[in-house]
Amino acid sequence: MRDIVAIGGSAGSVEVIRTICRGLPADLQASVLIAVHVGSIGQDLLGRILDADGPIPAGTAVEGEPLERGRIYVAPADHHLVVDDRTIRLGRGPRENMSRPAIDPLFRSAGISAGPRAIGVLLSGMLNDGASGLADLKRCGGVTVVQSPLDAIEDEMPRTALLASDIDYRASASDLAGLIGRLIEEEAGPELSPPANIALEVAIAVGRPSDSSVIAEIASPVPLSCPGCGGTLSQIRRSPLRFRCQVGHGYTAEALAQEQEDAVDEAIRIALRVIGERVVLMEKMALEARQAGRTAAAASFDERALELRGHADVLMESALDR
């Protein structure tokens, strides 16, 4: 029998989670752990909502509490939720894919702690948090499930998970509770030895100090910079393609590309503002020189202002083309 169900989702997933939890039996012989992207100042309302929905008791996870079957545990804001054997751990480790809580640490920890007794379920969301965690959960012998992309409000997370590894099942929101119930009742597969590199990433999420020597155990340096801290990124030595910096910030390739895109846009905006200010300054200096009868200096300032306007036009055209 499988007794750990880890569910992750982002945009468009809350109603799916409510549908799943309402559809599970009241005598569920498994613990359900849920990580949803809520940011650092979330109100931790989902646990109360699920508890009111019934039929299974639900609440926000608490550090150190023992896992009980027939209960639902929701990750609190600004904390990674992981399971350590039969104990809840809440981590303030580095963000993964700009999120804390992130989905990948939960999936990895479920795989490490429960192996073939774990079920990972990835729901609607943007970008691809959860894809590598599902792949790691499967490496530990667990069963992987995604919401059908055609059924998801935001299809990117389930779709990229299907591309990242050999997912066992996909189902619509209305069918997920029944599928999870059947998977719980099935006999679990054989125990596998969990890879040490997966366990290390779970430890980083919980808060293990990370530096270049720690990251070198699981990744190789590449000429890329971390958007979060500016440190050097290293490429994780297992699929799907993703990166960590020396302090532990984690990014999938897609999340990193999005962060770089945002950084380029911000750089263009800053450059346009600085150039605009330089144009104003050159024009004022030209006016002052002209009033003082320094015509050559005024012409030089006018020429410089014209050049700067040309630079601004090029940057604006580049920004509009993006």
Coil, strand or helix: which one is 260?
helix
Nearest CA-CA partner of 9 in 254, 238, 204, 173: 173
Residue environment code for 257-292, b if the CB has 16+ CB neighbours within 10 A, otherwise e: ebbeeeeeeeeeeeeeeebeebbeebeebbeebeee
Cβ-contact 160, 131 below 8 angstroms: yes
Q: Could you give the CA distance from residue 65 to residue 61 in angstroms, rounded to a whole number?
A: 8
Tokens 């020396």 — which residue?
246
CA dist 192 to 113, 119, 187, 234, 240, Å?
11, 15, 15, 28, 21
Contacts of 89 (CB under 8 A, 6+ apart): 63, 64, 81, 82, 83, 109, 206
- Distance between CA atoms of 45 and 64, rounded to whole angstroms? 20
The dihedral formed by the CA atoms of 161, 180, 76 and 84, expressed in degrees to the nearest 10: -90
If we measure between CA atoms, which residue out of 148, 167, 157 comes closest to residue 129? Answer: 157
Do residues 255 and 129 touch, judged by C-beta distance below 8 A? yes
SS3 142: coil
Residue 306 burial (CB count, 10 A): 11
Phi first, then psi: give them for residue 317, nearest 5 degrees: -60, -40
Residue 87 one-letter amino acid: T
Active-site positions read 10, 37, 129
